[in-house]
Structure 1
Amino acid sequence: MSNNVQIGMRYLREDRVAIIDNGINSNLMCKEKIQSQMVIYDNNRCIEDKEEIQITDFQHGTFCALIFEKYNSDCILNSVRILDKNGKGGVEKIEPALEWCYQNNIKIVNLSFGTTNFNECEKLKKLINKYVYNGMIIVAATANSGFVSYPASFTNVIGVATTGSPLSYSEDYMQMGIDTVVPSEHIIKMFDEEIRTSLSNSYAAPYACALIANRLNIDKTLSIKKLKEYAKEQSHIEMVEGVYEPDWVYKAYVIGGKKTSRASYYFETISGDLNEIREKVDTIIAFSMADLEKLEIKNKSAIYLGKEDIHNIDVQGFFWSKETRQRQILYNHYQGNGLEVPVVILAIEDTIDKFYVLTELKRAFASGGYNAYTIGMEPECVLYALEYMPEPVSDINAWKNFVESQVFYKQGDLVIWCVPLEEKDKFLHVYPDCDVQINIYNERDNNTVWFSFEGEKIEKKIPGLIDRKDVGEIYHVIESKLTEEEDE
């Protein structure tokens, strides 16, 4: 069997692995194992790396390479240096590094680093989805801080954490997007000396990456979903199966739902006859069981946004429906002492484009340096990279604990919960002490925005459609009121 996998007009080879890190010290490895050494400079050009790593330098990338080689002796390694001697670097260099890997037919990539900066999430998600769509397998270490990190938490990435972590989050790995928990302390040789690598997620990732490479050598047809399932099987801690965030979509075919919001999906859509465009899309999005059942999904992923229960749907790729979120809430183990961030309850009349308001408000807070955990109550939220949460009717405490866990692990600065204006009073009892209440409703040709802050009332009129400038003004009102105490 050939060791090539054809993706469009390009072949990605399973025997070629890239360590994207701070370089590999070729004096500490068999030179025949290293196919190429590249570096991304500040102008994002990828050129041959001729800088020699000194023995006194931080050997992060070298250790990763030695660990990988220890568990996969047949590997052909490629080094792409994007971090400095201290292991620091900008995430903007990941794109040219992955592009070089793709152009050079490298299928497996090890990233023993990431970022917890929420502002990097959306850009990295689109980037990762693009390369995974084109056949690349990416294994990434989660942050040692214990917070959600990117890209390790993405569904399209095999996220890795270490056994023996001193952090007490082991039961919440599912909430962090981690697929496998494996050892990071490995005996490797440097010259004639044996050393043990330190306890770190960084050194768990190349071990998992070697397992993935070995598995692909046996079965070269395995998809990223199958490889994630395999990684879970190899975990030293039992992992929950099949609960994935709907963040993997690169190109989708949407059936049965007419787009009514001015907000943009976080992915590209392709229209036409599915049989003719099948090879161009990775995900089918359906709004009813009738539409979903009449399609032959085959090896595609699927997102189901309908109200009916799911049954008899054969999906070989990733799958998400409202039940996925309900399972996440059920499996959540995090129990804190209540939210320690402001809560904004945003009640919007049904005639107003809530997805546009929410995405623009989330963007405005991000521009101001705030990570807003932005909740909507319709499954369609996920198409706009918003958080879907079902109505908290059966177990309010479980609902609140899950929100608290998400805010903690994602380092949220505030919660924005969008509820139907007509049912606002029903949901206020969940957070009766919320910091801000906002009503947005339409009166004739005007939209009225009504704010309530600890008894203080403010009202603003917005003529016509609500646009980005209008949402920006709503943001400034909220931000100024929430930071008043800090300024005093």
Structure 2
Amino acid sequence: MLIYDIKFDIKSSIYGRLGNVRIMMRHLREDRVAIIDNGINKDLICREKMQSKIVIDDNNRCIEDKDKIQITDFQHGTICALIVEKYNSHCILNSVRILDKNGKGGIEKIEPALEWCYQNNIKIVNLSFGTTNFNECEKLKKLVNKYACSGMIIVAATANSGFVSYPACFTNVIGVATTGSPLSYSKDYMQIGIDAVVPSEHMVKMFNEEVKTSLSNSYAAPYVCALIANRLNTDNALGIKKLKEYVKEQSRIEMIEGVYEPDWVYKAYVTGRKKTSRANYYFETVSGEFSEIQDKVDTVIGFSVADLENLDIKDKNLIYLGQEDIYNIDVQGFYWSRKTRQQQILNNHYQGNGLEVPVIILAIEAAIDSYYILTELRKVFASDGYNAYTIGMEPECVLYGLEYMPEPMADYGVWKNFIESQVFYKQSDLVIWCILLEDREKFLKVYPDCDVEISLCKEGENTVVEITFEKEKTEKIISGLIARKDVDEIYHMIEAKLTEDEDG
């Protein structure tokens, strides 16, 4: 079970619309802010500002929170509420307690907490905690995207460690970090999903005394919540993308606008040619005539300009997988393409000293279902506790939650630095890089000292799998379609090779 731990945030002195999408028809009120945390001490908050105190119990039910917070308890949620109250005069505060007095709790409590917020018309949610556990990424992403499509604005503190954390890094979340951090990660905000770098040290009144909050991302997030509540008070039609632009403008460091990971999709309309795969998209799709189903989707996915010409997508998000440049397409939501990925790579600041994790080169013939193999291979590594940074060379990879790597726009050094930055910030345990078999020699020049090389090619109805490790080759014949059991066997062969030294 995932444990959220905010204890070090509290104690440490160093850290501590979609436009018109109508998937959900509830009106969320911008004057209501929920602090999902370890509770709010109502004795320290202006009585008129407190609306509800809720706790998610052990059965994940939302019930009235009757526990009294003692003076000796962690006041983490209370401090977050005081910061929102300090910078926003009209907010109505709601406490949703999912963490215990030690600042720990399970991920299963996030969904009922957000559902309670939605049912009670709360638009702004503060999450001053998160996780760096990669195994929780997919669950949280689906959850966040569902509620973001209702119009909910989720503000989350990024990890004080400087690594990618969830849900702060998601596109549909406003990720926040503090100024004054001894870490240098703020220059790589684009790689870890930070939208604003703002102060976290605030003077608040607690127990009849003015105290200064500690330097921590936890206390930067509620400051941004207050800014957003103020902004929505003047224009309540602003959606997540416009609000991300707004908080970037309020950030204390200069930030580039417009480069987002394509992880935001809840329900999509896919138009144009697509590669057949047994792998599932990470989101739901809706079929039919676009004019009839457009209110049911938040994102349009197109493979060519021709696919998009007759679609009114200005209030949608767009993932464009074609090679041509897009002209005269009005997109008000999030936008991703090959070019935005190239921009992300070119704006990477991280410069490492080479990868310190195993690199597996997977060379596959074009006729083989690479998306299925990659997604299943990533799953089996994850089931054994390994976080695999899984790369493909086609932009359609992103629909499966895989990493897309365009061919180098500049020198290989720029490309390799980006891969190293991703491995570092995402704390990956290995790299699985899928290329076309015909391009094998070209890309082996990038990582000539890769740890394992795997090639998959068709021979009639069979697939020949060849695994090379330190010039030793092992061959396997798979009859028919590659199934999960075959992927499991490939995995065990790789693991055996990579752990030979450990096993003596």
TM-score, normalization by structure 1: 0.98
Q: CA deviation at 1:442?
A: 0.9
> For each residue in 1:115-142, what CA deviation from the matched residue of structure 2 results, as whole angstroms up to 9, or x when unmatched?
0000000010000000001111100000
Residue 152 of structure 1 is matched in structure 2 by: 168
Task: State how far apart, in whole Å, the 1-side matches of 2:372 and 2:188 are.
Answer: 32
Q: CA deviation at 1:304?
A: 0.3
Q: How do 1:136-147 and structure 2 match up within 5 A?
A: 136-147=152-163
Residue 211 of structure 2 is matched in structure 1 by: 195
| The one of 346, 351, 355 aligned to 1:339 | 355
Q: How do 1:84-163 and structure 2 match up within 5 A?
A: 84-163=100-179
Q: CA deviation at 1:346?
A: 0.1
Q: CA deviation at 1:393?
A: 5.9
> For each residue in 1:301-345, what CA deviation from the matched residue of structure 2 results, as whole angstroms up to 9, or x when unmatched?
000001112323210000000011100111000001110000000
| The one of 303, 306, 316 aligned to 2:322 | 306
Q: State the identity as a percent.
A: 78
> For each residue in 1:158-194, what CA deviation from the matched residue of structure 2 results, as whole angstroms up to 9, or x when unmatched?
0000000011112101111100000000000013200
SS of equivalent residue, structure 2 residue 51 = strand
Taking structure 1 as reference, are residues 413 and 43 closer, same or farther at Cα in structure 2, changes over 3 Å only? same
Residue 399 of structure 2 is matched in structure 1 by: 383
For the 8 Å contact 1:251–1:282, the answer to whether it is kept is yes
Q: CA deviation at 1:480?
A: 1.5
| The one of 304, 315, 337 aligned to 1:288 | 304
Task: State how far apart, in whole Å, the 2-side matches of 1:450 and 1:312 are.
Answer: 47
Q: CA deviation at 1:259?
A: 4.7
Task: State how far apart, in whole Å, the 1-side matches of 2:450 and 2:314 are.
Answer: 46
Q: How do 1:360-379 and structure 2 match up within 5 A?
A: 360-379=376-395
Q: CA deviation at 1:444?
A: 1.3
Q: CA deviation at 1:74?
A: 1.2
Task: State how far apart, in whole Å, the 1-side matches of 2:221 and 2:268 are.
Answer: 30
Task: State how far apart, in whole Å, the 2-side matches of 1:101 and 1:363 are.
Answer: 32
Residue 458 of structure 2 is matched in structure 1 by: 442
Task: State how far apart, in whole Å, the 2-side matches of 1:380 and 1:8 are.
Answer: 28
Residue 6 of structure 2 is matched in structure 1 by: none
SS of equivalent residue, structure 1 residue 461 = strand
For the 8 Å contact 2:22–2:296, the answer to whether it is kept is no
Task: State how far apart, in whole Å, the 1-side matches of 2:29 and 2:155 are.
Answer: 16
Q: How do 1:35-434 and structure 2 match up within 5 A?
A: 35-392=51-408, 394-434=410-450
SS of equivalent residue, structure 2 residue 220 = helix
5+ residue gaps, structure 2, are: 1-20
Amino acid at match of 1:345: I
Task: State how far apart, in whole Å, the 1-side matches of 2:244 and 2:237 are.
Answer: 14
Q: CA deviation at 1:6?
A: 8.1
> For each residue in 1:379-415, what CA deviation from the matched residue of structure 2 results, as whole angstroms up to 9, or x when unmatched?
0000000000011363100000000000000000000
Amino acid at match of 1:37: K
Task: State how far apart, in whole Å, the 2-side matches of 1:298 and 1:429 are.
Answer: 43
Report whether the alignment pairs 1:27 with 2:43.
yes
For the 8 Å contact 1:7–1:135, the answer to whether it is kept is no
SS of equivalent residue, structure 2 residue 109 = helix
Deviates more, 1:20-29 or 1:288-297: 288-297
SS of equivalent residue, structure 1 residue 11 = coil
Deviates more, 1:5-14 or 1:276-285: 5-14
Amino acid at match of 1:111: L
For the 8 Å contact 1:243–1:328, the answer to whether it is kept is yes
Task: State how far apart, in whole Å, the 2-side matches of 1:14 and 1:191 are.
Answer: 29
Task: State how far apart, in whole Å, the 2-side matches of 1:319 and 1:274 are.
Answer: 19
Deviates more, 1:233-242 or 1:384-393: 384-393
Amino acid at match of 2:322: G
Q: CA deviation at 1:257?
A: 2.1
For the 8 Å contact 2:55–2:96, the answer to whether it is kept is yes
Task: State how far apart, in whole Å, the 1-side matches of 2:275 and 2:70 are.
Answer: 56
Task: State how far apart, in whole Å, the 2-side matches of 1:86 and 1:224 are.
Answer: 32
Task: State how far apart, in whole Å, the 1-side matches of 2:121 and 2:459 are.
Answer: 58
Task: State how far apart, in whole Å, the 1-side matches of 2:64 and 2:377 are.
Answer: 44
Task: State how far apart, in whole Å, the 1-side matches of 2:277 and 2:95 are.
Answer: 44
For the 8 Å contact 2:321–2:338, the answer to whether it is kept is yes
Task: State how far apart, in whole Å, the 2-side matches of 1:193 and 1:206 are.
Answer: 20
SS of equivalent residue, structure 2 residue 27 = strand
Amino acid at match of 1:287: F
Q: CA deviation at 1:7?
A: 6.9
Amino acid at match of 1:411: Q
For the 8 Å contact 1:12–1:136, the answer to whether it is kept is yes
Amino acid at match of 2:439: E
Task: State how far apart, in whole Å, the 1-side matches of 2:226 and 2:129 are.
Answer: 17
Amino acid at match of 1:16: R
Amino acid at match of 1:100: W
SS of equivalent residue, structure 2 residue 104 = coil
Amino acid at match of 1:324: T
Structure possessing the higher relative contact order (Cα contacts under 8 Å, 6 or more residues apart): 2
Task: State how far apart, in whole Å, the 2-side matches of 1:256 and 1:36 are.
Answer: 48
Task: State how far apart, in whole Å, the 2-side matches of 1:259 and 1:251 are.
Answer: 19
For the 8 Å contact 1:13–1:107, the answer to whether it is kept is yes
Task: State how far apart, in whole Å, the 2-side matches of 1:9 and 1:474 are.
Answer: 47
Deviates more, 1:38-47 or 1:223-232: 38-47
SS of equivalent residue, structure 1 residue 57 = coil
> For each residue in 1:10-69, what CA deviation from the matched residue of structure 2 results, as whole angstroms up to 9, or x when unmatched?
221111110000000111112221101011112111111001110000100000000000
Q: CA deviation at 1:486?
A: 1.7
For the 8 Å contact 1:442–1:448, the answer to whether it is kept is yes
SS of equivalent residue, structure 1 residue 194 = strand
Amino acid at match of 1:284: V
5+ residue gaps, structure 1, are: none
